[in-house]
Amino acid sequence: MLRGDKIGLRARHEDDIPILRAELYDDVVNSSRSESRPWRPVTPGAQDSRLMVDDTEQAHVPFSVVELDGGALAGTAALWGIDNHNRSAHIGLGLLPGARGKGYGTEVVAVLCHYGFVVRGLHRLQIETLSDNPAMLRSAERNGFVREGVLRSSAWVMGEFLDEVLLGLLAQDWKPGTPRPGTPRPGTP
């Protein structure tokens, strides 16, 4: 398990799947805001490709986010689009409704940076998020990510086009465990 101060990132367990499906993916609005494809219902008991782990897939590393105090499932996180030639990847995360507003997002990003830069030896990490997602923007920027651009009207979400913000962080600019002014210490995994 990769650890922060309050959360850990571990392998996805079979019993995580029904919780993640019910609290993240069956929520039409949340799923529409976090997926680049349209929401669709998944038949109960069916294999859901968004949640299933293919251990042979090298370009996508999914984690379950758990609270270290008690081990409760808090959400999902991933390094995806891993490009070993260019040594880059994308970060994604989704927190369960009960885990939001506790600073977990900032810590998840910090632990994913540790995994990407230290464990995987990547050079660049990237985050794309909707421009009206202040929690993700804050989590990224507290970890040193820089806004690199806006993709205007690039995401179709619940009947309207929204802008996406592109943020990047290079390994040489990453400062593990160094709190930004006015932010909580994200923890050194």
* Beta bridge mates, 157: 160
Other beta carbons within 10 angstroms of residue 19's beta carbon come to 17
The CA distance from 101 to 97, in Å, is 9
For 123-140, b where at least 16 C-beta lie within 10 A, e where not — what string?
ebbbbbbbeebeebbebb
What confidence score (pLDDT) does residue 184 get? 44
pLDDT at 186 over 90: no
Global pTM? 0.87
Measure the N-to-C terminal CA separation of the chain; round to a whole number of Å.
Answer: 10
pLDDT, tens digit, for every residue of 140-172?
Answer: 999 999 999 999 999 999 999 999 999 999 999
* φ/ψ bin of 87: left (φ > 0), alpha (ψ from -120 to 50), beta (otherwise): left
